[in-house]
Structure 1
Amino acid sequence: MNAKPLRWALVLVVSLFLLPLVMAQDVQPTPTLDDTIEIDLSETGESIENAADQAVEATENIAEATLSAVDQLLVRLSTVPNNVVVKLLLVIVGVVLLIFGWQIYDEIILLAGAFVGAAIGLNLVGDSQLVLEIAAFLIGGLLGLIFAMFFYYIAVFFVGAYVGLILTVALFNFLGVAVSSLVLLMGAILGGLLILALSTQLMIILSAIIGAQMIVLGLGLTVEWLLILAIVGIIIQFIAIRALNIDLRRRKRRNYRRMLLRR
């Protein structure tokens, strides 16, 4: 990896923070033999303090913008659609993922990416005409599918982050405690990292949670039902795997990107 762009970026950032210090200084006269050098330490201290305050304020603004984006994304992904056709599609696909996710565990991330993209596309158009809502649902789903196909591990992280978000909301709603944006962000990051660390066998849990979320959105159920349906789906899938004596760890994940590029 070329380190030069990163090095120049760091130099630029440091220069921007040092710029207020330089501009805030008064021009000092060139000392002569008869002059004494006087340095106003109070002005220098104030300049450093002002620069530090600016850095803290910029950091707080970035954090607030990030948390606001998390809030907006969560609202979009958890909004119940008004279209009956979209609700029906959510329920059908949700049931398939909830119960039969172990049979299509190679495609779970692809379907999850399609679902997240469809949810974002649907809520971007808001309450519109039927044709526009269906088009936004399908186009968003297709874009999410393509992204998950070509950037698999990035998609795994974002899907895990989404699962972390909805589980955090469900847990705090179950406890009757208000959840802050910072906690939601931490839950999302933790969910993404955990999904990356889990084995393919535990993708069953992911499929059950995503399927439960789709059913909850399609039927307009409360968040508590998400936990109930997810637990039921996980139990059903593990019972089916044990009954059929299937070892998912021996199966190799398909490389869809390579398959498409070969064609």
Structure 2
Amino acid sequence: MNLLLAASGVVLLVLGWKLFWLFVGVLGFAAGLQAAQLVFGPQPFWVLWAAGLVCGIIGAILALFFQKLAIGIGGFVAGSIIALHLTLMMGYDPGALVALIGGVVGVVALYLLFDWALIILSSVAGATFIIEALGRHSPYASVLSAVLVAAGIIFQARLLIVSRKGDH
């Protein structure tokens, strides 16, 4: 599980902006896993994975065919995950309100500044997945997270700039 989480994080760090459908699919998978645990309680591993897979596939399909809807859903899920993770890293017990506020901020950011918000959100989400896979209780988790976010933003920003130069 940790290997998949880390690999997903790396993909989001590097290609989150370029492959929007994958960004939404990976976040859908993560949200499905978490939701299944909350809704169904302790279940066999395959049940949780099946729920995550279904949510991930639905997210990827929405991103491919209904981009505006997927932007809203992806922004909300990413914003919620990031808000919850940051709250936990600060040592607070997050509640539903934190997830809701983070989700709303994620939606607004993606609609207003799609390319840059997607770069930032996918970099932060990717770094979050990697830190979760490594164990967020490491004394260097915050520093590593910041370095990963910065690296993801720089890498994806270069992709964006190169692609825009090719359009002109």
TM-score normalised by length of structure 1: 0.49
**Pairing 1:112–2:27 present:** no
Q: CA deviation at 1:119?
A: 2.6
TM-score normalised by length of structure 2: 0.70
CA distance in 1, matches of 2:49, 2:97: 33
Greater relative contact order, per chain length (Cα 8 Å cut-off, separation 6+): 2
**Pairing 1:96–2:11 present:** yes
Q: CA deviation at 1:92?
A: 1.1
Q: CA deviation at 1:192?
A: 1.0
Residue in structure 1 matched with residue 106 of structure 2 by the alignment: 191
CA distance in 2, matches of 1:121, 1:247: 34
Residue in structure 2 matched with residue 169 of structure 1 by the alignment: 84
**Pairing 1:128–2:39 present:** no
Question: What do you get for the CA RMSD once the two structures are aligned?
Answer: 3.6
Gaps of 5+ in 1: 1-85, 253-263
- Given that residues 2 and 134 in structure 2 are in contact (C-alpha distance below 8 angstroms), is that contact kept between their aligned partners in structure 1? yes
Percent identity (aligned): 31
SS of residue matched to 2:43: coil
Summarize the alignment of residues 177-256 of structure 1 with structure 2, pairs less than 5 Å apart. Answer: 181-222=96-137, 228-240=143-155, 246-250=161-165
Specify the structure having the higher radius of gyration (Cα).
Answer: 1
Q: CA deviation at 1:121?
A: 3.4
Could you tell me which amino acid in structure 2 is paired with residue 121 of structure 1?
Answer: G
- Go from structure 1 to structure 2 and tell me whether the alpha carbon gap of 1:148 and 1:251 turns closer, same or farther (over 3 Å shift): farther
- Given that residues 211 and 230 in structure 1 are in contact (C-alpha distance below 8 angstroms), is that contact kept between their aligned partners in structure 2? no
Q: CA deviation at 1:215?
A: 2.1
SS of residue matched to 2:136: coil
- Given that residues 163 and 191 in structure 1 are in contact (C-alpha distance below 8 angstroms), is that contact kept between their aligned partners in structure 2? yes
Q: CA deviation at 1:220?
A: 4.0
- Given that residues 11 and 126 in structure 2 are in contact (C-alpha distance below 8 angstroms), is that contact kept between their aligned partners in structure 1? yes
